[in-house]
Amino acid sequence: MNDTQIKSLIAEIRGEQHISPFEEDKILEGYIKEAEYDINENAGTEIDYEKDLKAKSLLKNYVMYCRFGRLAEFKQLYGAEYAYLQAIYYKPSNVQ
């Protein structure tokens, strides 16, 4: 994700999650980058979050749970969404 997309996503998350203006953008940016890395790694590919709205929703929920220190709970609750993304983006390879 580029800086413009991240800034747009921060504004969207702020509006949806009613985040205080005192919570720094840098912290939210860190959560977004962490979420993007985690989701992409689990899906096995780089996802376009502007096109894949299910993945975007998962990313925003990741940020919300991360903000409240509930990432382990998030992983339990959203395991099916990770599996869905793996099924959609899976690309077989010749690696053995």
What ranges do the domains of the chain cover?
Answer: 3-89
DSSP state of 34: H
- pLDDT tens figures, 29-83: 999 999 999 999 999 899 999 999 999 999 999 999 999 999 999 999 999 999 9
Rounded CA separation 79/58 (Å):
10
pTM score, whole prediction: 0.89
Q: How many CB atoms lie within 10 A of CB 5?
A: 14
Confidence of residue 95 (pLDDT cuts 50, 70, 90): low
- pLDDT tens figures, 2-26: 999 999 999 999 999 999 888 899 9
